[in-house]
Structure 1
Amino acid sequence: MKSNAIYFSDNFFSAGKTSIYDENKGELGTLDLKSAFSSSLSVWDASNNLVVEGRFRFFTRKWFVTNATGHELGTLRQKWSFFTKKYEYETNGRGTYLIISEGFSKEYRVLNQNEQIVAHFEKKSNFFQSDAYKLTNNSDELSNEELVAMVMGITMIIKQNHSAASSPAAT
């Protein structure tokens, strides 16, 4: 699934399957958000082959991305900062990437270790609609499927943060 710009979306209840499209609305694959009660997903190619999966492990705030055989491709974690949103995606043997977004922006840049932009994604949301994303991949190291799992990992981390902030124990 190599395409310069791809489009995919979340579901209202973060459960179910959604299609992944290219710029011409050609279907490239499927994003399967497993369940509203668990934070895990899988990305399938157009031939319905499992490519990558993403999930939290028990008692951790890190998002793990694995390939179809369960080999870990990378780990996503939030980095604390003021006035910006920062995440770090550490891959096994392919470098560490920094994902940055300005305070209230819905646009994110993925930077390699040389601080070059290798991917860019933005959240396109409308009122009463689930979040949709446009992802542009210029990386030779990161596949579109891996980046989709990483983008949804950021969404899951944000949801986890909101859930923790609104729980009775947090007040």
Structure 2
Amino acid sequence: MILYFRDNFFNAGGTEIVNEYREPVGLVDLRSAFGSALNVYGGDGRPLFGGRFRLLSNKWAVTDASGGECGLLRYRMSFLSKRYEYDRYGAGVFEVTSPAFSRDYEIRNGKGELVVSFQKISGWFESSAFRLTVHTGWIDGYEWVAVIMGMHEIRKRHRQSGA
């Protein structure tokens, strides 16, 4: 499964999720310009997943269609790479890594197997866009969209706090 999706420049409103044939297959709804929360909808308009920061925390909670928390994404300090961990409740911990100045990321399960890869494909003056490739596993590609957008929100928070 290959999906393309992006952020909005003003951090609010909906953006399409498209497949490798550029056909619309879903929507990312960035709920507010003043907060960091989102919903991911399938091609039929049904809510599938959501994401938001936990209260007073830099941890990103991923929720299922009913609003129940199904996983937690957190940043991991690393010297020469970008590292995050996604704890998918009931499935284990997945490691998200990228070399320091790369735009390519890998997500591996606890056994070290490649589950998902994604690339940031946008330019300097564009809102961030991503290409997601699901290689294996039973976790839905739309859930990975919520995870990747959460990673993007964590990075934006870190940049803002450093400024």
Give me the TM-score of the superposition, normalised by structure 1: 0.93
Partner of 1:169: none
Taking the aligned partners of 1:95 and 1:139, their CA distance within structure 2 comes to 15
Partner of 2:31: 34
Q: CA deviation at 1:140?
A: 2.4
Q: Which runs of 5+ in 2 are unaligned?
A: none
* Amino acid corresponding to residue 95 of structure 1 in structure 2: G
Partner of 1:121: 118
Is the alpha carbon distance of 1:68 and 1:114 closer, same or farther for their aligned partners in structure 2, counting shifts above 3 Å?
A: same
Q: CA deviation at 1:55?
A: 0.2
Q: CA deviation at 1:58?
A: 1.2
Q: CA deviation at 1:27?
A: 0.9
Residue 11 (structure 1) aligned with residue 8 (structure 2):
yes
Q: What stretches of structure 1 move > 3 A for 4+ residues in a row?
A: none
8 A contact 1:20–1:29 mirrored in 2? yes
Q: CA deviation at 1:141?
A: 2.4
Taking the aligned partners of 1:45 and 1:84, their CA distance within structure 2 comes to 32
How many residue pairs end up in the alignment?
Answer: 163
- For 1:7-56, what per-residue CA distance to the aligned partner results, in whole angstroms no more than 9, with x for missing partners? 01111111110000001111110000111110000000111100000000
Point out the structure with max Rg over C-alpha. Answer: 1
Partner of 1:64: 61
Q: Report % sequence identity.
A: 39
Q: Which runs of 5+ in 1 are unaligned?
A: 167-171
Please report the RMSD computed on the Cα atoms of aligned residues, expressed in angstroms.
0.8
The one of 18, 32, 37 equivalent to 1:21 is 18
